[in-house]
A and B are shown apart, each in its own frame.
Chain A
Amino acid sequence: MENMNYVLPLIPALPLVAFLVTLLLGRWYIKDSAHWIPIFAMAGSFVLSVWAFLAIRGEEHAFVMELWRWIPVGDFQVAIGLQLDQLSAVMLLVVTGVGTLIFIYSKGYMHGDPGFYRFFAFLSLFAFSMLMLVLGSNYLLLYFGWEAVGLCSYYLIGFYYHKPSAASAGKKAFLTNRVGDFGFGLGVMLIFVTFGSLDFGHVFEAVEAQTASEGVMLAIGLLLFMGAMGKSAQFPLHVWLPDAMEGPTPVSALIHAATMVTAGVYMVARSSVIFASAPTAMLVVGGIGAFTAIFAATIGIAQNDIKRVMAYSTISQLGYMFMALGVGAWVAAIFHLVTHAFFKALLFLGSGSVIHSASGEQDMRKMGGLAKKIPFTYWTLMAGALALSGVFPFAGFWSKDEILGMNFKGGGYIVWAIGLVAAFITAFYTFRLIFMTFWGKSRMDPEVEKHVHESPWSMVVPLIVLGALSVFGGFLGFPPEKGVFHKFLEPVFEPANKILGVHHEAFGATDLVLMVVSVAVALSGIFLAYLFYVRRPDELPQKAGALAPPLYKAILNKWYIDEIYNATVIRLVVDGSRWLWRVVDAGIIDGAVNGVARLWDVAGKVVSPLQTGRVQNYAVVMFLGLFVIVTSVIIF
């Protein structure tokens, strides 16, 4: 463990250096080779992360180090400190592993873009921030990473800043997250005031000792979760993620699918002890998760933009993770986080490859029949789709099934049922995407069709690696609840499980039945998509839409959430502010000030005739004044 004192700080430091060098020198010196330094930095971080991973394996206690005191004021002492435990080790591997692949992919995808260096600079800054987020040893540092990844997301969503829609989307993402962070920030304050510290170690120990009342624990849990809802795009703070697709596709894959958006899941899992001590908060987490899972899935059905389908899918899958957290299935949540990182990054990168080959076209209605033309993309994307749909034995199957199973066995039948329906919808929209893009006849622009080509190797190789992970990654968690993955993470969640009294039974008949059910559901979803979009594409979709027009319209319009926000909160704030400015500031306050000024002006005009210039007049007034003063002194 000794060497971790050097290894650990280097993990975030490498991308930070890459950021600084690329930002300062990129524009004028490095230019088109701006990808080398970030890629090597990221790969280096990955190697070091593996080292850290191996070092922490089987250790009972977290490794904590302090780099320097950040904010020391009185009893408020916060350090820039790093903490390595099994949870952060898993996150490190995901971030640096998937990160490295996406960095390599970006080289091909962003090639020739005028902002090439800028892209890699901010991608590196993102990696640094995300690594700080998972390595920080206290809540304030977690908050730092949290905001910093949000900032990178803002920049990278708005990467094509000259497009007004991209600039707006970036701002929307940041502001929606700020709403969530309003809760997170207050939660951090409440933690400090309650426990006198923000260090994970101290706080969790104090929570275990039950030093705080249940009400306070509930408040802390809900406030923290509010932050998680923003970052992980849970209803009703999900609105920013679909718009975030304005960013370049590698950004969507890395930030808005594999890593940053899972920060909320990480945060709740990190605070497992806090949530375990606040059962009501867990209920809220699970409820919001389940609702979001099905809510976002329904929207996914009707989207025609290939990336937007994926965006809603991500929101929905994050909902599954919260569903898991809600029943204390911490490991299952993290497991799904990992497999989701594999297959969703793959799906995004694959979509990017499709877009790349179709000269930037994102509308699935203008695709079709691409399977033969871009076979590598097709087959890898197929692996990702099967994983997302939860087909045995792909990665997504194991993790999703464990979440559903844990809910069922925990008595959460409603949540389980919702999850199952959502799984059905998921399979449907996923294969809708596959069929619309790759199968059937081409609906492409002839000009675009001529130029369709398989992507360069820098893009295909990451697809293949992620494809392999999506196929085999699930076996990490085999058998369910008792896999290698579970054993590895056990020490982290032991305290929370102790509070909840969770115990895992051996794989039994119930599990088998549940598995069969969920595979059947997934397959029927795929079959329905096949009917709709392969067998009778010209007829069934329209018919289904005509069944209940208002419902179809609501889904098409994303349940009008954006419109509702615009009409209520945003309108209220902007109009209210304008009122404050025009009426209160300019009208009342300044009116009063100018009124006083005018009063003096008027008074001056009234009094000025008295300035006659005749000394005798002044003398009279002086005597009068003297008389008044003397009299009043005598009287009082």
Chain B
Amino acid sequence: MDFGFADQIGFRALTLLTFLPALGALIMLLFMRGRPSAYKATALVTSLAAFALSAYMLTAFHTDTAAFQFQENFVWIQSFGINYHVGVDGISMLLIMLTTFLSVIAIIGSWNYVKDRELAFFISLLVLETGMIGVFTAMDLFLFYVFWEIQLIPMYFIIGIWGGPRRIYAAIKFFLYTFTGSVLMLVAILAVVFWFGRESGTMTFDILTLQNAGFPSNIQFWGFLAFFVAFAIKVPMFPVHTWLPDAHVEAPTAGSVILAGVLLKMGVYGMIRFCIGFFPEMTVKAVPWVMVLSVIAIVYGAAVSLVQVDMKKLVAYSSVSHMGFITAGLFTFNLQGIEGSVLQMVNHGILTGALFQMVGFFYERTHTREIKDYGGMARPLPVAAAFFSLFVLGSLGLPGLNGFVGEFLILIGIFQYMKVFAVIASLGIILGAAYLLWMYQRTMFGELTNKKWLDLKDLSLREIVTLVPLAAMAVVIGVYPQPFLQMLHAPAADIIARLEPFMAQKESLVHMASTFLGGF
């Protein structure tokens, strides 16, 4: 079955969705200089329109197939075989929904946040949105790379211009890390494309074609490695995670929300599309290594979170732990693990996005993020404390909220893969409860550390408006995740089918690794 956009929805929905934010940004730039209410309203309307459009696309979306949908494909640079080819499957559709959703939240959330060069800030946010959607829709390697780089630039500016006191250090660190990844990816892309061009005689950047190329083992090895490192930096996996805490601490709130909410997921998404898609054989071989790194990340990230003194840094390190769950779940390559992993990407986007948003709200009031400066905040800010507790609980995996569903599916997946890993990962859950509750206790409970805080104003209506959708999603996915999982059944099964032929080797590696680890 062919899923061209024409039959499915009747207009170029993906292109429109991708460039809508950029268009909004352009209008703001051209016509709205110096008129804050006008450009802010435009930014909001644009992001809302993008969200509405993505929601509308869901109505035409087929959940019973792993095929790419809403496809648009035309020749862009013929001599290199570069096409403008876009399309989405269940995984990318969910991530796009997450992107458009969080973009709205981030824009409302930073309504009064930046004082300096505000127009540029909102333009950056919108361009970033275009870049992110582009990454999730691209079905052409070249196009993918372009979008990948496009989203890098506004993020770099957001951290570097509107960030905290050490923003330059953080921005450069962020840039160097991700740039290293980009270079590796570029090399791998060229290697893959040129090899295929030589073998088949036609040069193409088309992802679907390349996924069926059947690369020889040396290309598999080096290609996998390069792509994997590039994406591992983005996730970030242990031990290439150290850019994340710095970037988060310095980034403005909206930057953190988007960074944690969406950008990190691009790393995992890349692994799904390219590591698994192009190099299934090597992927299967790499499973034990990825598992070990992921499980380390789970426990390590949680442990380091425990001793943080800066609230934002704590949430940042918690992301390392949570992303560890996500990569571990993905690489179990069973249905529960994969679907749990992708669902957890959405959950993490919602919960960590919300936590960063709230830390931002606190910061705007107190101008400090040090945990020891807080304490007893539940008294002056009861509504904020209530929301904060909901997101904390979701994050620590309380059943009934969204974090649990993903986490438990992942654990079931890991457990089926190898029991020891599930045991270690479960330790991360204990630590997760520890650092989150400890932080909550030290900030919200206890005696008021500072009399000044008594005069603080509780959340404004605007702030509540940004939190209510996040809270609602946390509950909805927690009790009724079915519609979300529905979108993942087919793509997850497709991933497994792709890897199935090579799974026999995995068994022996599992065996090797388990004897190495002492077995269970």
A interface with B by C-beta (< 8 Å): 27, 68-76, 80, 140, 143-144, 147-148, 151, 154, 158, 161-164, 166-168, 170-171, 174-175, 178-179, 182, 185-186, 189-190, 192-193, 573-574, 576-578, 580-581, 584-585, 589-590, 593, 597
With A193-B412, A193-B415 given, name 12 new contacts (CB 8 A). Answer: A76-B335, A162-B378, A168-B441, A174-B433, A175-B430, A178-B433, A186-B423, A577-B304, A580-B300, A584-B300, A585-B242, A597-B176
CB of B235 within 8 A of chain A?
Answer: no
* B241, B304, B334, B437: the one within 8 Å of A581 (CB): B304
Q: How far is the CA of A192 from the CA of B416 in the complex (A)?
A: 10
Q: How far is the CA of A175 from the CA of B427 in the complex (A)?
A: 12
Taking CB atoms, residues of chain A closer than 8 Å to B334 are 74
B interface with A by C-beta (< 8 Å): 172-173, 176-177, 239, 241-243, 300, 303-304, 306-308, 334-336, 339-340, 376, 378-379, 382, 393, 398-400, 404-405, 408-409, 411-412, 415-416, 422-423, 426-427, 429-431, 433-434, 437-438, 441, 444-448, 479-482, 485, 489
Taking CB atoms, residues of chain A closer than 8 Å to B408 are 71, 140, 185
Taking CB atoms, residues of chain B closer than 8 Å to A74 are 334-336, 339
List the 5 shortest-distance A-B pairs measured between CB atoms, nearest first. A74-B335, A167-B445, A144-B399, A577-B303, A161-B445
Select from chain A the residue with minimum beta-carbon distance to B448: A162
Known: A71-B481, A148-B398, A148-B399. A167 touches B409 (CB 8 A): no
* B243, B427, B441, B485: the one within 8 Å of A72 (CB): B485
Q: How far is the CA of A358 from the CA of B423 in the complex (A)?
A: 50
Taking CB atoms, residues of chain B closer than 8 Å to A70 are 479-482
Q: How far is the CA of A80 from the CA of B405 in the complex (A)?
A: 13
The answer to whether B438 and A593 touch across the interface, beta carbons within 8 angstroms, is no
- Report the minimal beta-carbon distance from A181 to chain B, rounded to whole angstroms: 8
Q: How far is the CA of A292 from the CA of B491 in the complex (A)?
A: 51
Select from chain B the residue with minimum beta-carbon distance to A596: B176
The answer to whether A580 and B303 touch across the interface, beta carbons within 8 angstroms, is yes
* B336, B415, B441: the one within 8 Å of A190 (CB): B415
Taking CB atoms, residues of chain A closer than 8 Å to B441 are 158, 167-168, 170-171
The answer to whether B433 and A175 touch across the interface, beta carbons within 8 angstroms, is yes
* A158, A163, A170, A577: the one within 8 Å of B307 (CB): A577
- Report the minimal beta-carbon distance from B226 to chain A, rounded to whole angstroms: 18
* B304, B382, B404, B480: the one within 8 Å of A580 (CB): B304
The answer to whether B437 and A171 touch across the interface, beta carbons within 8 angstroms, is yes
Select from chain B the residue with minimum beta-carbon distance to A590: B242
Taking CB atoms, residues of chain B closer than 8 Å to A168 are 441
The answer to whether B412 and A189 touch across the interface, beta carbons within 8 angstroms, is yes
The answer to whether A76 and B398 touch across the interface, beta carbons within 8 angstroms, is no
Known: A68-B480, A71-B485. A573 touches B400 (CB 8 A): no
The answer to whether A574 and B307 touch across the interface, beta carbons within 8 angstroms, is yes
Known: A74-B335, A186-B422. A144 touches B430 (CB 8 A): no
Taking CB atoms, residues of chain A closer than 8 Å to B411 are 185, 189
Known: A147-B399, A189-B422. A179 touches B430 (CB 8 A): yes
Taking CB atoms, residues of chain B closer than 8 Å to A577 are 303-304, 306-307
Chain B interface helix/strand/loop/mixed = helix
Taking CB atoms, residues of chain A closer than 8 Å to B446 are 161-164, 167
- Report the minimal beta-carbon distance from B160 to chain A, rounded to whole angstroms: 16
Q: How far is the CA of A398 from the CA of B433 in the complex (A)?
A: 41
The answer to whether B239 and A589 touch across the interface, beta carbons within 8 angstroms, is yes
- Report the minimal beta-carbon distance from B5 to chain A, rounded to whole angstroms: 30
The answer to whether B307 and A147 touch across the interface, beta carbons within 8 angstroms, is no
The answer to whether A185 and B426 touch across the interface, beta carbons within 8 angstroms, is yes
Taking CB atoms, residues of chain B closer than 8 Å to A154 are 437
Known: A70-B479, A144-B399. A175 touches B434 (CB 8 A): yes
The answer to whether A158 and B445 touch across the interface, beta carbons within 8 angstroms, is yes
Chain A interface helix/strand/loop/mixed = helix
Q: How far is the CA of A185 from the CA of B432 in the complex (A)?
A: 15
Taking CB atoms, residues of chain A closer than 8 Å to B379 are 162
The answer to whether A182 and B445 touch across the interface, beta carbons within 8 angstroms, is no
Taking CB atoms, residues of chain A closer than 8 Å to B405 are 71
The answer to whether B409 and A73 touch across the interface, beta carbons within 8 angstroms, is yes
The answer to whether B398 and A162 touch across the interface, beta carbons within 8 angstroms, is no
Q: How far is the CA of A154 from the CA of B481 in the complex (A)?
A: 26
Q: How far is the CA of A166 from the CA of B334 in the complex (A)?
A: 44
Taking CB atoms, residues of chain B closer than 8 Å to A71 are 405, 408-409, 481, 485
Known: A76-B409, A193-B415. A151 touches B479 (CB 8 A): no
- Report the minimal beta-carbon distance from B255 to chain A, rounded to whole angstroms: 21
Q: How far is the CA of A73 from the CA of B340 in the complex (A)?
A: 9
The answer to whether A164 and B339 touch across the interface, beta carbons within 8 angstroms, is no
Taking CB atoms, residues of chain A closer than 8 Å to B241 are 589
* A27, A76, A80, A171: the one within 8 Å of B438 (CB): A171
Q: How far is the CA of A20 from the CA of B396 in the complex (A)?
A: 22
The answer to whether B307 and A578 touch across the interface, beta carbons within 8 angstroms, is yes
Q: How far is the CA of A147 from the CA of B429 in the complex (A)?
A: 13
Taking CB atoms, residues of chain A closer than 8 Å to B445 are 158, 161-162, 164, 166-167, 170
* A80, A151, A581: the one within 8 Å of B393 (CB): A151
Taking CB atoms, residues of chain A closer than 8 Å to B430 are 175, 178-179, 182
Sample (13) of A-B pairs whose CB atoms are under 8 Å apart:
A72-B485, A167-B446, A170-B441, A178-B433, A182-B429, A185-B411, A190-B415, A192-B412, A193-B416, A577-B303, A581-B308, A593-B243, A597-B173
* B339, B427, B448, B479: the one within 8 Å of A80 (CB): B479
Q: How far is the CA of A143 from the CA of B426 in the complex (A)?
A: 15
Q: How far is the CA of A162 from the CA of B446 in the complex (A)?
A: 4
Q: Which one of A76, A168, A192 has the greatest number of beta carbons of chain B within 10 Å?
A: A76
- Report the minimal beta-carbon distance from B383 to chain A, rounded to whole angstroms: 9
- Report the minimal beta-carbon distance from B378 to chain A, rounded to whole angstroms: 6
The answer to whether A186 and B485 touch across the interface, beta carbons within 8 angstroms, is no
Taking CB atoms, residues of chain B closer than 8 Å to A166 are 445
Select from chain A the residue with minimum beta-carbon distance to B313: A581
- Report the minimal beta-carbon distance from B474 to chain A, rounded to whole angstroms: 14
Select from chain B the residue with minimum beta-carbon distance to A23: B386
Taking CB atoms, residues of chain A closer than 8 Å to B480 are 68, 70
- Report the minimal beta-carbon distance from A215 to chain B, rounded to whole angstroms: 12
Taking CB atoms, residues of chain B closer than 8 Å to A148 are 398-400
* A147, A175, A580: the one within 8 Å of B398 (CB): A147
Q: How far is the CA of A70 from the CA of B404 in the complex (A)?
A: 12
* B172, B339, B415, B434: the one within 8 Å of A73 (CB): B339
Taking CB atoms, residues of chain B closer than 8 Å to A581 are 303-304, 307-308
Taking CB atoms, residues of chain A closer than 8 Å to B172 are 597
